[in-house]
Structure formats: C-alpha cells, structure tokens
Amino acid sequence: MPNIQVLDPHVANLIAAGEVVERPASVAKELMENAIDAGASTVTVEINHGGLTFLRVTDDGKGIPADQLKTAFLRHATSKLRTEYDLEAIGTLGFRGEALAAIAAVSRIEALTRTADSELGASLALEGGTPGPVEEAGCPRGTTLVVRDLFFNTPARLKFMRRDSAETAAVAGLMQHLALSHPDVSFRFTKDGTESLHTPGDGKPASAVYAALGRDFAKGLVPVEGRGGEIAVSGFITAPLQGTVLDVPVKAGQAVKAGQVLVVIEAMKMENEVVAPADGTVGSVSVQKGDAVAAGDPLVTLQ
C-alpha cells in the first residue's frame, strides 16, 4: 500500500469544491443565497447551456468592499460568523465561507461589485481559483458574478452532467423555490436569452405564487393561517392537482358543518378529502364518483 500523505492543497480544494458544487444549480443556489444575505431587493439569474458555459447572478445588495474582494474567494472566509457562539444564532442562509472558494476552484469567474459608500467599484477575475489583480471598475451598487466554463478543470465531473435541458430545469426549479420563500425580493430568470420567471418582489406571497407558478395554479389556491403560542404559520392550500373522484358523500340542498367532507379524490396515489370551509348548505354538486378532475374544476358549491 502507498504511504499515507497529506493531500496537496490544490487537490484538497478540488475535492472540497466537489462537495459544494455538484451541478450548475448548486452554483445558482449559492450565489442567490449570497445575494439575499446581502439584502438585495432584485436578483437576476441568466444562464446559457444549462449554466455550464455561462451563469450570471446580478444583485443590488450591499456589495463587497474592494479591499475584501480577494478574501471573499478564500476558503473559510466569511463575514457572517466570528466565534463558535455565533453558530447558535445564525440568521443568514450561508455561514461556512466555502461557496465562493468552491465555485472559483472549478470555473472561470469575473466578479464586479460596489458598496454604497464607494464611488468606484472593483473587479476581479479568477481562473480555477487563481485570482488576478483587483481593479477599479465603474458599476452600479451591488454585485455581479459571472461563472463560465463550469468544471473546465474537472473533466470527470463534466462528463457526468446531464443534458442542458435537465440542468436548466434544475436551476428553474430552484429559482421557483427561492422566489416563493422570498416574496420581498424580485427574481428574474433568463435561460438562453429567454425570460422565464419574473416576480414582482412586492412582499405579497400571493404575487410570488402567481408569478412563479402561473395564473391557473394561483387561482385554485386558498389562503390559510394559524397561530399557536409563539408560532404563526401562513400559506396556501390547493386541491389535489389531478385525480379521480372516489366519493361524493353530500347531496344538493344538504346542510353541512365546517370541516365536513364534501368530496374524496384520489390523487398523487393518496386519498384527499375536500372539506367544507364553513357551515352552509350544498348548492350544486358538479362531480360524481369516477369523474376525472383537475385543479380549478368546480366540485361542489356552498351557499
């Protein structure tokens, strides 16, 4: 057996990078989380070829001071954590100080950034983690990171990438999730030059749902909220998306109580009960046992 030896730092960095950056969607996730942590109110993500050749994230957050720009790309470099005690009260999405170093190790990066108190911004290019000089650059407040040729120096990883369309779909799905969980941030997503998502960032969850999931989906949603002690929960529920009616245990004219089962639908391999939202009388029943139904189809009206 060969001798046990400590790995060369270059190899160790590539291995560590592989744990953070599995595919283009991992890059998009880390960069979007950084933008949100920086207090951005708009975040734009543009990708070409599933994000493998080109992925750009632009934010209007607080920016990175020029004298800290190189440090941001070092491993274990973070502004979000100082001591072990801070670990117990983390309020940011990132804190490991790993992401930028990991992405830089396996791509070619250009960073452009400006803080509010500086008139000039700064730029920095890195190739396979090796930085060039920090240069002065005119740019709006915030940060833009362009990541090109992902995995150019790790061909084994590149070979395992799926089709461009699968990688594009992974980035799009991730953007939907982030947009839905941050309705106060306006997200814009462009793939191969075509805009496919644009949320208003007006702080209203319903607007984010409408923009991210579409009008048809949004119109079938029912807002819900509840509170118990210190915890408040709010959100939306929807009827199962597509299914078959298993049972309609009510008839027109019948009085029903809030919570009473009106229709039982089999969808997503589960039985789902649609219940009366309030006390009332059944007006009309539009479905019967065996019918196929989709989201938004009328089932039962209540008076």
Ligand X SMILES: Nc1ncnc2c1ncn2[C@@H]1O[C@H](COP(=O)(O)OP(=O)(O)OP(=O)(O)O)[C@@H](O)[C@H]1O
Query: Which positions touch ligand X (CB under 6 A)?
Result: 30, 34-35, 38, 59, 61-64, 72, 77-80, 94-101, 143
78 makes contact with Mg ion (CB under 5 A): no
Structure-token pair, residue 186: 């306006």
The site partner of 62 among Mg ion, ligand X, none (C-beta below 5 to 8 Å per kind) is ligand X
Q: Which is nearer to ligand X, 39 or 298 (by Cβ)?
A: 39
- Beginning with the edge strand found earlier in the chain, give each strand of the sheet holding 292-294 in spatial order: 270-275, 261-267, 242-247, 292-294
Q: Which is nearer to ligand X, 80 or 198 (by Cβ)?
A: 80
Residue whose Cβ sits closest to Mg ion: 94
Q: Which residues contact 182 (CB under 8 A, 6 or more apart)?
A: 36, 208
CA pseudo-torsion sign 152, 157, 148, 30? negative
Amino acid at 82: R
CB of 120 to Mg ion, least distance (A): 25
- For residue 198, what are the β-bridge partners? 188
Q: Which is nearer to ligand X, 30 or 167 (by Cβ)?
A: 30
Cα angle: 171, vertex 173, 177; to 5 degrees = 115
In 182-233, which ranges are continuous DSSP H helix?
Answer: 205-213, 215-219
Q: Which is nearer to Mg ion, 26 or 154 (by Cβ)?
A: 26
Q: Which residues contact 83 (CB under 8 A, 6 or more apart)?
A: none
d(Cα 255, Cα 197) in Å, to the nearest integer?
44
The site partner of 78 among ligand X, Mg ion, none (C-beta below 5 to 8 Å per kind) is ligand X
Question: Binding to Mg ion (CB under 5 A): which residues in 138-197?
Answer: none
Q: Convert residues 22-41 into a mask of x (bound to Mg ion by CB under 5 A) and - (unbound).
A: ------------x-------
99 makes contact with Mg ion (CB under 5 A): yes
Amino acid at 226: G
63 makes contact with Mg ion (CB under 5 A): no
d(Cα 265, Cα 70) in Å, to the nearest integer?
57
The site partner of 265 among ligand X, Mg ion, none (C-beta below 5 to 8 Å per kind) is none
CB of 267 to ligand X, least distance (A): 38
The site partner of 96 among Mg ion, ligand X, none (C-beta below 5 to 8 Å per kind) is ligand X
In 128-198, the DSSP E strands lie at: 130-131, 135-137, 142-148, 186-191, 194-198
Q: Which of 24, 50, 51, 94 binds Mg ion (CB under 5 A)?
A: 94
Q: Which residues in this chain contact Mg ion in the complex, by CB under 5 A?
A: 34, 94, 99
